[in-house]
Each structure stands twice: as structure tokens, then as C-alpha cells.
Structure 1
Amino acid sequence: MSGAGLTESYIRVANMDLYCEYLLNDKPPILLIHGFASSIYTFRRIIPLLMEQFSVISVDLPGFGKSEKSNSFVYSFENYAKVMLEFIQTFNLSSTHIVAHSMGGQIALHMARLAPEKVNKLILLCSSGYLKRAKKLLIYSSYLPFFDRMVYYYIHRKDVKDYLHNVFFNKELICEEMIDEFSRPLAEKRFYKSLIRLLRHREGDLLPKQLQKIDVPTLIIWGEEDRVVPLHVGKQLVKDLPNAQLITYEKTGHLITEERPEPIFQNILTHVM
């Protein structure tokens, strides 16, 4: 999805090749972290706006997008956070702002928990929260032969367009390019093995007592019609995070970066400047 002025590159971090797109200048750095089964593409409509005010760094998480689907990486949120902290060090950044969507919100929160000095401001977009770890029976089942085929058939029980309908309020924004982009990883066999490892390794989301120790200034932005991560999660996060505020948008779903790019950009500017 590379836009004008962005550099596309693979960077070796934690023995994995991570795909990223970035623009480095003399402006404050901002790191973009996408959510589950997504990629840098999530931010395609706000990156051009952010480029006017920030050094922008976006990355496909291990197991997703164009990044490596490692068979040895432990796909826990804490490990994702450690990889992201190592990733920003490759750009010689002492700290950065972070914009994180959905599952990426848990990764960003872990980064703030592990290394608060590395995170200036947090912006959480429809962040996942309060999910428990997968049930033991499902985790044990993931070791069965051909479980990846079961995952494949489970995911393909619906069309990609059906999944997109679930993350949008305004269905008219769904286009063929978007369908193609979200369909692409579903054709990769290694993608399903990464999903299985994420199922096994993903710890439960941060507990309230852990969130209450994260003092990084945090802006939480939510779509009021979010059917993937309901608004009540955002309302609970703003209670548990000691230095947070919540902004919501009517007639907006889970993929808020597609539906409200300009307002989100203005929210980010107000929060970090």
C-alpha cells in the first residue's frame, strides 16, 4: 500500500524479517500497530495525513501481512511487545508515540507496561481488552494433525466480504481493492500455522490491576457501532487506565481508520502536540 514518500523495507528483528513502511524526518516519531488478521493496510487512509506532522513507521506484525510467518516465534502479546520495542530501536528512536488498532492495542499496552520510558503517548483505536486465554481443550486440540486444515475451513466458512461487513458501519466503503487486500493472506498456508501458534501462546488480555499501573497518557477512540469489540470495552479501559480519555463516534464500526480518518488524525494531533 506504499504511499508517496514512504520507504518500503524488510528489517531483521528477533530472527524474523518484518515488513515495514516508513518516513523519517525531523518530526516526532509515531508507530502504527495493526490488529488481528490485518496489516499496514489498516492505516492507509491516515498515513498520508500523519506524514504531514510525524515521522511515520508502520509494520506488519510477525505472522501477518508481508512479514515472516515464523514457526519458532512465541506469539504472545508480551513477546510481540518485546519485538516492537526492539523494532523501534533499529530506527535509533529513544521513544515514540503509538497508534494501535484492535489486537494491536494489547501489544501497545504491553509495550507501555514493559518500557514506559519508550512510549510517549498512546492512541488506542477500538482496542481489544479483557479477553481471556483460549480454553485448554482448544489449545490441546491445536496439536492434532491437520488442525491447520480445520482452521482453514473454519475461516473460509464465510466470504471475505462478509467479514468486512462485520467491521464496517458504512458498508458502501467496502471496495474490490479492500477485498483483495484482506483475501491475500488467506491464500498463504503459513498464515494458518501462525494463527495456530497465536491461539496456543496468546495469554489473556491485561487485567485491571495491570492496566492501573500503566500511566502513559492514553487516548481511546471507538466506533459506537463496533460489533467486534463493543464500546463497553472502551468504557472499561478508560476507567482502568489512570491517565486516559475516551472519544466515540456515532455510526462508526470497528475499522475506524477507514470510516473516520480525518477526525482521528485531528484527535491524535490534539493528544500528542
Structure 2
Amino acid sequence: MALTAEHTSRFVRAGDVKVHYHEAGSGPALVCIHGGAPGAFGWGNFGRNMDALSAHFRTIIVDLPGYGKSDKPPIEGGQYGFYAKIFIDMLDALGIDRAHIMGMATGGGAAIKMAIDYADRVDKLVLVSSVGGVMQFAPQPTEGMKTIRGYYGGDGPSPTKMRRYLETIMYDASLITEDLVMERYAASIDPAFMSQAPEGRPGSVAAQEPVWKDLDRIKAPTYVLWGRDNRVQTYENALFMLSRIPDVQLHIYGQTGLWVPFERAAAFNRQVIDFLTED
């Protein structure tokens, strides 16, 4: 029987913040941190991967603070460090000494800060379409960044805007169902999300640390996964990470956008499992 969001749903107090997460499986802990965008939440980003990953790991898919069912506190200091500290507190509360950390997009920034600031708590690191790279040739802001920033502008959010956003982050538009659009749209107009999440208010931008400057400080073996057709964070970012992270591997998928775990679920699951289980 496939795992569901409802039956894997949990809460834990991480310091002063209540974090919502999904948990299944046993073995080494794997924490999956989703990306930040209108209507983003943990199960939405990684739910399609839970069955495969939880067959090998104690898989924990979190809602970032400010997203999903997690508390929505104001961000203090740098955004990525703020998240990283909360997730370390979460590991403490769950009795986990060390874990594999997988971060996508904004979640990658939190994962990078965990690997740098709390190196003894991170076993292996997986970065998917992550912040932390540098683009030298792509025009900035990218098409995807403009779409995200414009979502709450003008006439405000709508299912049409959400579909346009999903078309921007995925190469294969046939994967975009009406249910997927409406699920993400409903999450994007949640009043608590709109009042606190960094992507929930027009013009609201949290301070984001330049983690690209510290990639060479990552000690954990790292796997970088990217879509060649990512229109938010181009694969130039992945190449930069390849050049800076000491112990790193890189895989770039053709005909794939930002949302690699969704578009390439079967191949993605195999590659992540192989990387995390190899000696």
C-alpha cells in the first residue's frame, strides 16, 4: 500500500518552532527539505519519492518554517541559517545524531548551512536545483524568478498563474494535472502562508546568505542533481558547485526542469539511494 500524506504526518517541537513533517521507514535518517515558492510544502515536493526512499532510510520530509503546516515565525538573521538551526533542533528532538540531508532549491540553502555550520551532524548531502551556485551567462532575474516574484502581483494569485508557474519549473507540461494546480494554488492562498512566508507577500524578501562563497567548506560527500532545462536556476549553478565542493558528484538530466524529484522520480530515486548507500 502506497504511503499517504495523512498517514505519515507528524509534528515535533524544534526549539520554539513546531515543525510539521512526514516520516516513514527505518535505518539511517534522511531529511528532505523542500524549495521555497508560492504554495510549496514538503509532501508536495517529495511525496512522490517517499515510497522508494523509505524502503532504505528513515525518511523525514519537512515543511520549512513558514510553509505547509509548520509554524510561521518571522525569520531572524539569514534565512538559510535560520532554517538550519531549526532543523538541528528538530534532529535533537527526534533523537537523531547524524542524518543524510537532501535540499531542493531554497531547501538546498538550508542543507548547505547545515553541512557547513553543523558538519558533525551531516553524513551525506544531496543538492537538487539548489541555491548556492553562480550564474555568469544567463540573464538575471531568470524567467522562473520573474514568474515567482510576479505571482502575488497585479490581480493577485489565481489558478491560471499557478499553472504558468508549474509550466515554468517543469519541462514536461503533460505532468501538470488540474489536481496538482489546485493543490498548489490552495496552499498559496492560505492566510497564514501569505502573512509570513518569504514568498507570501509582494516585495517580501528575507536576507539570504551568500552560501556560494563557502561551498569549499562542505566536508560531506555531496551529490548535485539538476535539470538541463531549469528556467529558475540554470545548470550553470550546478557546474559552479562542481568546481567548488571538495567531494562532489554531478548528474544533469536532459529534458528536465527544476522539479527533478517529480519529473524524473524513478531515476532520481535510484540515484539518490545508490549514492547514500555506497561506501
Return the TM-score normalized by structure 1. Answer: 0.85
The separation in 2 between residues aligned to 1:52 and 1:195, in whole angstroms, is 32
Q: How far has the Cα of 1:217 moved from its partner?
A: 0.3
Q: How far has the Cα of 1:104 moved from its partner?
A: 0.6
Query: Is 1:90 paired with 2:93?
Result: yes
Letter in 1 for 2:209: G
Give 1:1-273 correspondences, 5 Å limit.
3=4, 6-25=7-26, 27-37=27-37, 38-40=40-42, 41-71=44-74, 76-130=79-133, 152-154=152-154, 156=157, 159-196=161-198, 199-208=204-213, 210-273=214-277
Contact 1:18/1:61, CA 8 A, preserved across alignment = yes
Contact 1:77/1:110, CA 8 A, preserved across alignment = yes
Contact 2:17/2:86, CA 8 A, preserved across alignment = no
Aligned residues: 254
Q: What SS does structure 2 have at the residue aligned with 1:97?
A: strand
1:227-250 deviation line (CA, Å, top 9, x unaligned): 111000000011111111110111
Percent identity for Structure 1 against Structure 2: 24
Q: How far has the Cα of 1:270 moved from its partner?
A: 1.8
Contact 1:2/1:8, CA 8 A, preserved across alignment = no
The separation in 1 between residues aligned to 2:264 and 2:194, in whole angstroms, is 31
Q: How far has the Cα of 1:66 moved from its partner?
A: 1.6
Distance 1:196 1:226, change over 3 A: closer
Q: How far has the Cα of 1:73 moved from its partner?
A: 5.3
Contact 1:106/1:205, CA 8 A, preserved across alignment = no
CA RMSD, 1 decimal: 2.5
Q: What SS does structure 2 have at the residue aligned with 1:58?
A: strand
Structure 1 unmatched runs, 5+:
133-149
The separation in 2 between residues aligned to 1:186 and 1:269, in whole angstroms, is 31
Distance 1:184 1:74, change over 3 A: farther
Contact 1:125/1:221, CA 8 A, preserved across alignment = yes
Distance 1:36 1:76, change over 3 A: same
Letter in 1 for 2:58: S
1:152-200 deviation line (CA, Å, top 9, x unaligned): 4356386100000001100000012211221122222332332359945
Return the TM-score normalized by structure 2. Answer: 0.83
Contact 1:60/1:66, CA 8 A, preserved across alignment = yes
Q: What SS does structure 1 have at the residue aligned with 2:192?
A: helix
The separation in 2 between residues aligned to 1:105 and 1:159, in whole angstroms, is 25
